[in-house]
Chains A and B, each alone.
Chain A
Amino acid sequence: MTKRTNISIDSDPAMEKVRAIIMQKERAEIEELHYILDNQEELSTRVIPIIEGELEFFKKQFPKEFEHVIHKLIDHRIKESQDSILDVMYPMVGKMVQKYVNQQFQLIRDRLDNQVERSSILSRLFNRAKGIKESDVQLSELHDISIEEIYVIQKNSGLLIGSASRNETVDPDSVAGMLTAIKLFVEDAFRQGEQNLEVIQYETYEIFLQTFHTYSIAVAMNGALSTSQKVKLREDLFKLGEEINPLVQQIDETTNGKIREKLELFFMSALQKQEKYLSRRELHLLSKNTNKK
């Protein structure tokens, strides 16, 4: 029914005329619109301000509108690269804690210094009476300590990532595996929460373990370090860790060589200035004695 009515209206010339009269105004407007749409210049003068306004609004609203999307993206990125982020953070957090602890120690040390000064004068007198030169005592202590080997070991699997050694005797792979096994064994046996095994003593050797998130650095030393020397060594290991971090994120055939380079540099600097591992006080005493000589 409706269909037939439509047809009759559309095709009726009288109706067409009526429509033309009624729609005159609208037709003119449509033509005007066509003109604007087809004319580039006309169009842009009208549209550009709108776009600019929208852009301005978008810029202002962007943080608000997209905040959650961006946060999600960042969360995702952090989750994806958690390991590398943690490896970067470990030394930083460690350093912060260490700095604080060091400061506290410094305070105690300063307070104790006067007392120690007195007793060290006593011991010097005692040594002199025995005919031992103070400088000899200091030097012999200094020469007792040497870094023998350094290993960078993948956590848990115990696989060796890189190593450097003073004398290439032992199989570093097995040492790395064994050190990890000992570490896991001890940590399991004593189950002290999240505590890490940090030092292994074996005859005259001391093996230092500095644990990062995905790997550990083990330093085998001949001779025992004093507490202040240990603090210094640990500081140096944190620095070494910073250099090693980027290398261990993507392990391939070249990793071992690159890490070995870093370790050898570490070795050299440690050997060249072993006084690095002496406390300021010990250095002070040492320089006083060498000056006297």
Chain B
Amino acid sequence: MISKKVMLAGNFGVGKTSLFNRFIQDIFDERYLTTIGVKVDSKVVSLDNDDQLKLMIWDIAGEVSQTKVPQTYWLGASGILYVFDLTRPTTFERIEEDIAFLKQKLPDCVIKLIGNKKDLVSTDRIEEVKSKFDVDAITSAKTGEQVEDVFLALANDIYAQTQPM
């Protein structure tokens, strides 16, 4: 089976670890235990064409700017979920800059932009965010909404990219 490296990136406290835990073990914890270093875990997903793909997911410590992440972490990554916190506008501030940085760093990488903690915000806030940024998914690690879908979409996109046209 093919394995692909996927990174969870974004500011601290936005819910990277929570999305990781929700996706891999289907659990959620209200407590905030900041990630130190990296945690790696894997999950096999079934793609739209019934092939299987193993995602090796790297949950890294959040940084205000993605340029602060140890640069070796990015090497060999096929996909990135860039997460921001819908409740904290400070976590929107660097979206464009960060995404541009990641695109330049990993030109062939599939990048998805995720607004997390949907359960805590109004639909107005969501509409406002959507009008400003090219968001791929609005998730809630707490309720599990859209979590599996966004990982699956990423996996399918990565797979499509590895297939010869």
Residues of A within 8 A of B (CB): 154-160, 171, 173-174, 177-178, 180-182, 184-185, 187-188
Partner of A159 from B38, B39, B56 at Cβ < 8 Å: B56
Task: Give the CA-CA distance A34 to B37 in the complex, in Å.
Answer: 88
What is the distance, in angstroms, from B8's C-beta to the closest C-beta of chain A?
A: 12
How far is the CB of B27 from the nearest CB of chain A, in Å?
17
Scoring A154, A173, A188 by chain B CB atoms within 10 A of each residue's CB, the highest score goes to: A173
- Give the complex CA separation of A160 and B2 in angstroms: 10
Is B42 in contact with chain A by the CB < 8 A criterion?
yes
Interchain CB contact under 8 A, B58 and A181? yes
| B interface size (C-beta, 8 A) | 18
Chain B positions 41 through 65: 1 when the CB is less than 8 Å from some CB of chain A, otherwise 0: 1100000000000101010000000
**Given A174-B42, A177-B40, A177-B42: A184 touches B76 (CB 8 Å cut-off):** no
Q: Are A181 and B39 in contact (CB under 8 A)?
A: yes
Residues of chain B within 8 A (CB-CB) of A177 are 5, 40-42, 56, 58
Whether B70 lies near A188 (C-beta < 8 A) is yes
* Chain B residues closer than 8 Å to A180, beta-carbon distance: 40
Among candidates B54, B72, B76, B77, residue contacting A173 with C-beta atoms closer than 8 Å = B54
Residues on B with beta carbons closer than 8 Å to the beta carbon of A173: 3, 42, 54, 56
CB atoms of A187 and B72 under 8 A apart: yes
Is B160's CB within 8 Å of the partner chain A? no
Q: A181-B58, A184-B73 are in contact. Are A157 and B39 (CB under 8 A)?
A: no
A181: B residues at CB distance < 8 A: 37-40, 58, 73
A103→B119 CA distance, assembly (Å): 67
